[in-house]
Structure 1
Amino acid sequence: MRLNDVKPQKGSKKRRKRVGRGISAGQGASAGLGMRGQKSRSGSGTRPGFEGGQQPLYRRIPKLKGFPLINRRVYTTINVEKLNNLPANSEVTLESLKQCGILTTVKGELKILGNGELNVPLQVKAAAFTGQARAKIEAAGGSCETA
């Protein structure tokens, strides 16, 4: 037999404690609630999560603006419309875009986005493509290769 096995006898019922019924009711003058303060007054105490006027935890957490992704992938993005000035059937990589001056800074791997139109067939090698970008490159007669 363990403490978590102990149950009241079948059919037995314990009466609830009737507090606040005067000094002779068995809980003394303050009904077992202490002398003064919000928790000794009638009515409910404080709502769940109340911290006495201090900014509660559930209001402090949103200031953190979510939680950062560990090992987040950072891309250097470029739209399809910027690739229109390149010569036909040329190979497009991160290095080639930097050499011809289309890209000035490199933040990470190359990702091609689908904004704008493309009229030139190109062989594009990038880390990622959006669905629209892949469709536009292939519609112009080019090819997409994920590196």
Structure 2
Amino acid sequence: MALHNLQPAEGSTHPTKRIGRGQGSGTGKTSARGQKGAKSRTGYSRKIGFEGGQQPLQRRLPKVGFTSRVVKPLAINVVKYPAIKELKEITIETLKPVVNFSKSVTKVKLIGSEAKTLTDKIKDSNITTSGK
């Protein structure tokens, strides 16, 4: 079993520059940091998104709000749809042809002065009425 030499090839690497070791080194005095300014100071670390004092991009753009995971029910006024009163039982499937709402609707709330009288006809837990 041969041992491999894990050294880099001859002349392929350069010694690291030793910064701040006197004027003769070429990187003495200011240690290759220039004269003044934030970058020349010790402990400097630029904030993420910092643009030199200009308003950063993430603060220039408008906020994009959140979408609530709480599903709001579709309010249906019973007075506007008299055919709801004539239904034998009220479910989302039986309401769709009468009211004609989209497929994405999962909860319905019946409102209006006559909504309370329909509570005994409701057979779906996703349908509620206003009042007791």
With the length of structure 2 as denominator, give the TM-score of the two structures: 0.46
Considering fraction of residues, name the structure with more helix: 1
Considering fraction of residues, name the structure with more strand: 1
